[in-house]
Amino acid sequence: MFTVLEIIKKTTEFLASKGLESARLNSEHLIGHALGKKRMQLYMEFERPLSEAELEKIRPLVRRRALHEPLQYILGETDFFGLRLKVDRRALIPRPETEQLVEQVTLTRATTPPTRILDLGTGTGAIALALAQAFPGAAVTAIDRSEDALALARENAAGTGLAERVTFVASDWYAAVPAGPYDLIVSNPPYLTAEETAQTAREVHGFEPVGALTAADDGLADLLTIIAGAPALLTADGSLALETGIAHHARLLAAAQTAGFQRVESKRDLTGRDRFVFASR
């Protein structure tokens, strides 16, 4: 019979042998999830022997992670901007860069809070729900072309208590978007090339929806569509906020100026790479 600590060590060695980074952290998350414990609670039970029934709950989770299935999908949830969101293969896992996009938006609009917000390509609903929470006076419309993603986003809206604040609409970008004007349009659209998607970690290209990652025209197609259509839906002092690829900014800034935006700005992510484009009329 193995103790909690012994199983953590064995699991860590096994996951490390499969090429997984942060194997110990992964092990603790998986074992804690299987046992219904928080990671810190495991530390208080290191010497406790595990029953066979408990081991049977742990083994399938470890096998899934050994195949490089994302930890968030196995746990079924992730944290985003203070919200606990359900995640599964219906949509991309929200990334720290997207959390930074939301943070930048809340900072830039702190003195002029938006009252109508449009989130294009909502996925899990992360951006829409985070902005609904950050701007209590705003009505948020969130669109996605994927009905599966919209179903997941609605589940997250219900789970976070924000269902009354966000309207979800099936639309291929602007095709079926409710009439504006909006004070803010925000989006984290697909922006990788097919080659870049193929080069991502196995956790990404093997499990997350490729259609939410890859765009034509060197990853720019969806971004350019969003920029071109935004001015017609924005208020006179409305703004656009985008997460982008790191090599896109010269073309995107030019496209925003051509579309009629008066103020266009490139912002960097926490690694110092050009990641966000902000434009206002």
74: in domain: no
Q: Give domain status of residue 221, yes or no.
A: yes
Provide the CATH number for the domain around residue 19. 1.10.8
pLDDT at 17 over 90: yes
Same domain, 157 and 54: no
Half-sphere exposure of 252 (CA within 13 A, CB side): 30
Q: How many domains is the chain built from?
A: 2
The CATH number of the domain holding residue 206 is 3.40.50.150
pLDDT at 197: 87
In which domain, by residue range, is 52 found? 4-67
Residues 6+ apart with CB under 8 A from 147: 170
If asked whether residues 25 and 102 sit together in one domain, one would say no
In this predicted structure, the answer to whether residue 198 has a pLDDT above a threshold of 90 is: no
Over the stretch 83-131, which tens digit does the pLDDT of each residue have?
A: 999 999 999 999 999 999 999 999 999 999 999 999 999 999 999 999 9
In which band, very low, low, confident or very high, does the pLDDT at 202 lie, cut at 50, 70 and 90?
A: confident
pTM exceeding the 0.85 threshold for the entire prediction? yes
* Cα pseudo-dihedral 23, 60, 155, 191, rounded to 10: 50
Q: What is the pLDDT of residues 29-78, one digit of tens each?
A: 999 999 999 999 999 999 999 999 999 999 999 999 999 999 999 999 99
pLDDT value at residue 1: 83
